[in-house]
Amino acid sequence: MEVIEVKEVSQLQTRYEYGGDEFIFVQLSEAMSLEANFKGMAITRKLKEANLEGVYDICPSNASYMVRFDPEIIAPQALLEKLQQIERDLGGLDEITITSRLVDVPVYFNDPWTHEALMRFRDRHQAPDSTDLEYSAKINGYANTDDFIEAITSAPFLVSMIGFVPGLPWCFQMVRQEKQIEVPKYVRPRTFTPERAFGFGGAFSVIYPVQGAGGYQLYGIAPAPIYQKEQTLFDFQDSIVFPKQGDIFRYRSIHADEYQAIREQVEDGSFVYHKKEIRFTPGEVLSDLEAFAERALRRLYHD
C-alpha cells in the first residue's frame, strides 16, 4: 500500500493509504479509543450523507475506516481530498453531535448452554481448571464472578463496529481506561460457539449472531437475536442485522425465568428491544464518562 499522508490531529494520527485501485484505507489511530471511534463515526456518516457518485462501500471500524470506489467514476486523488476535507471540517469533538440508540440488552450469565460449550474446550484454554467467568474475574482483579458481572453491567458499551461475521457487534465499555476489562482469547479457538453467546476478547464484548467457531471468553447468552434473516421481528424490518455502529448497549443480567419469557416472545414474534434515542457530543462523553453513563441509563429506563 502507498502511504499518502501522515498528520497530527488532536491526540490522534491520521494515515491515508491506497489499497489497490478501488480502496482507500484511513487509520485514525493505532490504538482503539473512544475519541478515535467517535471521529471515524462522524466522518463516515458525513461521507454517506455526501452520496458521492462512484463510492460503493463505506466500512467503519474501531479506529479506522475503508472506502471502496470506482476510479473510472471518481478519481482516487479527488476522493482522498474529499475525505481530508470532511476531517478538517469536523472541528473539535465538542462540535460533533451524534444521534444514537440506547438499547437494553438482556444477558443470562453463567447459563447452561454456554457453560456446556466452554467446558468441552478446556484443553484450549489458559486456565483449564476454571470457567471463563472465573478466569476473567481473577485476572481483572475481582474477588468473584458476581463482582465481575456487576462491572460489565454497571456501565454501558459503545458499539464500535460491526464485523467478523454478519451482525456481530464489537462493543467497547464507556469507562475510564483503568477500569477497562481486558481478557485474552483462547489459546486455540473452539470449533463450537452457541448462537447468541455473549463473550469478551481483548477489551471488546461481543454477541455471536450465529452458531460457529470462536475464541472469545464465554460468559452467558442473550435471549434475543441480533441477526434474523427471516426479518419477522419488529426490530429487523429494515435490516437482517440489529446493531448499528454508534449504538450504546447496556447489558442487563437476567435469570432463567426472564430468559425463557423473552425466548417465547421471540418465537411468537412479539419481542421488541427496549430502546431510546440519545444525542451527545464526544467531548461531553470524554470529559466525564461516569456522568454520561449515569445520564444514559437514566434516559434508557426512566425518562
- Provide CATH 2.40.100.10 ranges for the chain: 99-301
Domain 2-91 has CATH 3.40.50.300: no
Q: pLDDT of the chain along its 303 residues, tens only?
A: 333 333 333 456 799 999 989 999 999 998 888 989 999 988 999 999 999 999 999 999 999 999 999 999 999 999 999 999 999 888 777 778 889 999 999 999 999 999 999 999 999 999 999 999 999 999 999 999 999 999 999 999 999 999 878 889 999 999 998 999 999 999 999 999 999 999 999 999 999 999 999 999 999 999 999 999 999 999 999 999 999 999 999 999 999 999 999 999 999 999 999 999 999 999 889 999 999 999 999 999 997
pTM of structure: 0.89
Every domain range in the chain assigned CATH 3.30.1360.40: 2-91
DSSP string, the chain: -EEEEEEEETTEEEEEEEETTTEEEEES-SS--HHHHHHHHHHHHHHHHHT-TTEEEEEE-SSEEEEEE-TTTS-HHHHHHHHHHHHHHH-SGGG--EEEEEEEEEEEET-HHHHHHHHTTGGGSS-TTS-HHHHHHHHTT-SSHHHHHHHHHSS-EEEEEE-SSTTPEEEEE-S-GGG---BPPPSS-EEEE-TTEEEEEBTEEEE-SSSEEE-SEEEEE-SS-SB-TT--SGGGSS-SB---TT-EEEEEE--HHHHHHHHHHHHHT-----EEEEEE-HHHHHH-HHHHHHHHHHHHHT-
Considering the segment(s) 99-301 as one domain, its CATH architecture is Beta Barrel (2.40)
